Chain A
Amino acid sequence: MGSIRRRPRMAAAIEHDDGFESLRQAFHARLESERVHFVTLSAALARAEENPVWIFEDLVYRAHRLQGGAAIFEESEVAVAAGKLESAAVIAAESRAGNTDENVWAALEALVKLMGNRDSVRDLARA
């Protein structure tokens, strides 16, 4: 999780304890499991030469959910990266793109890196 910078909270009005920190910790724990999911999906995408649409759809669902959660928990970089992945995966699914769709891979790479992956997902997928 080293890539996600901890920024000061934006809302001065809610500085008192409203359970935000404990929920944020829970969100970060979820980010870790989501990162593993995305790496797994990368590997599946690299192998799915015939019909990767179901993987694109899964990416759309997960990226959308992550974007919403990250926005609410003030992880805007993750939210933006997840939004880009969602958009790329939507287009790839609609256009029936192959498993080498560059936009999807670039967005996936950026998001997973931001979530703390040191190695490239492309390298991991090839391995």
Chain B
Amino acid sequence: MPTEYKVHSLEDSSVDLHDTILTQRMESSQPCRVLVVDDDDLVRARLTALLRNAEFEVEAASNGEDALRIMGSRHCQVLLTDWQMPDMDGLTLCRIVRSEHAEGYVYVLMLTVRDSKEDLLKGLGAGADDYVVKSAPVEEILARLEVARRITHVEYSLRRSNRENRRLAVTDALTGAHNLRFLMKNLPRELSRSQRYVHPLAVLSCDIDRFKKINDAYGHDVGDDVLRAFVVRANGCIREGSDWLARVGGDEFMVVLPETDVTGAKRVAQKLRKVFSHCPVSTHAGPVKLSVSIGITALEAQAEIRESSKIEDLLRAADRGLYASKADGGNKATAASIADGRVASIKQ
């Protein structure tokens, strides 16, 4: 049954990968790192010692500029800053931190001698999460930093959980391969890149021959083994890091090959076909022989790359090739042209 494809916007598709990178960088920065900003070297030294003793990781800066430089190079979960400093004061620093996109949330605690209600409101208004006067007992300063640690940890846990949810949303639970949602989010980006740089792009549509019979004869557990084996073997036939595959239906898979023309795509298709036809799959019920039918399409001529703006055209052409392979008895790879709809079986 043909799969219904829905195209997502490019803006959506760029979010996941970016967020993953940020979260990976955050993971490396656990446990809680505090950036102490004060122009008084003795105060900095005192706070640094106090916080290290309380098992915080500590960075120190003598002014706002230095603080921003440090925050630009590594994530600090907590910013403990003085208010009045030469060049850039704590309020300005706080506003900049809030206006910039940071890796995770930065909890800002202002530590100052200014103790009026008006000053407190100014500090919070600039984006500080908490405000404490320097004359407060150290227990209070530490207690407030523990609050900061707790909140940033919760924020980190939520971020990690969201990342995992997003990963699961684009992952096929049975095989661990990408799913249809991933394909529809990321194939437009591959197409866009291909058009921008006028580079070729190939897509393979793959289907396990007589998969229903395998399920009927051996049971669904064996069918599941076969699907998992397909993903493992197919991943072994493509380039890690640039090529990728997605499960788009029961036994249907799409393989996306950036920077690959039709000749290269045919090579991959043949490799994929042979890796199954030459070697049975190990399952719960013992070795099962199977074969794969493949449809191939590629954007490679300059005009074709520039004019084909729909991924639906690409996917339909690959599916036409697949149907032709099936109609020819299966265990075949057939190339289909996007432009004129012609199909051509490739030599076995």
Contacts and interface: CB of A to CB of B under 8 A. Distances in A.
A72 B43 CA distance: 7
Contacts of A30: 42
Contacts of A79: 113, 134-135
Contacts of A68: 38, 40, 43, 82, 112-113, 134
A2 B90 CA distance: 35
A13 B146 CA distance: 14
B50 A14 contact: yes
B18 interface: no
B40 A10 contact: no
B42 A26 contact: yes
A95 to B, nearest CB: 19
Given A14-B53, A83-B113, A72 B47 contact: yes
B40 A69 contact: yes
Contacts of A64: 84, 113
Contacts of B133: 71
Interface in A3-54: 10-14, 16, 18-20, 23, 26-27, 30
A103 interface: no
A13 B113 contact: no
Contact of B113 (A20, A23, A27, A67): A67
Contacts of B42: 23, 26-27, 30, 69, 72-73
A83 B82 CA distance: 16
Contact-residue size bin, chain A (C-beta under 8 Å from the other chain): 20 to 34
Given A68-B40, A68-B43, A69-B42, A18 B50 contact: yes
B138 A14 contact: yes
Given A30-B42, A65-B40, A83-B113, A71 B135 contact: yes
Contacts of A11: 137-139, 142
B69 interface: no
A76 interface: yes
B232 interface: no
A20 B43 contact: no
B347 interface: no
Interface of A: 10-14, 16, 18-20, 23, 26-27, 30, 64-65, 67-69, 71-73, 76, 79, 83
Interface of B: 38-40, 42-43, 45-47, 49-50, 52-53, 82, 84, 112-113, 133-135, 137-139, 142
Given A13-B139, A16-B53, A67-B134, 19 more contacts: A11-B138, A11-B142, A12-B139, A13-B138, A13-B142, A14-B138, A14-B142, A18-B49, A23-B42, A23-B45, A23-B46, A26-B42, A30-B42, A64-B113, A67-B113, A71-B133, A72-B42, A72-B47, A72-B134
24 contacts: A10-B137, A10-B138, A11-B139, A13-B142, A16-B53, A18-B50, A19-B46, A20-B50, A23-B46, A27-B42, A30-B42, A65-B40, A67-B113, A68-B38, A68-B40, A68-B43, A68-B112, A71-B133, A71-B134, A71-B135, A72-B42, A72-B43, A72-B47, A79-B135
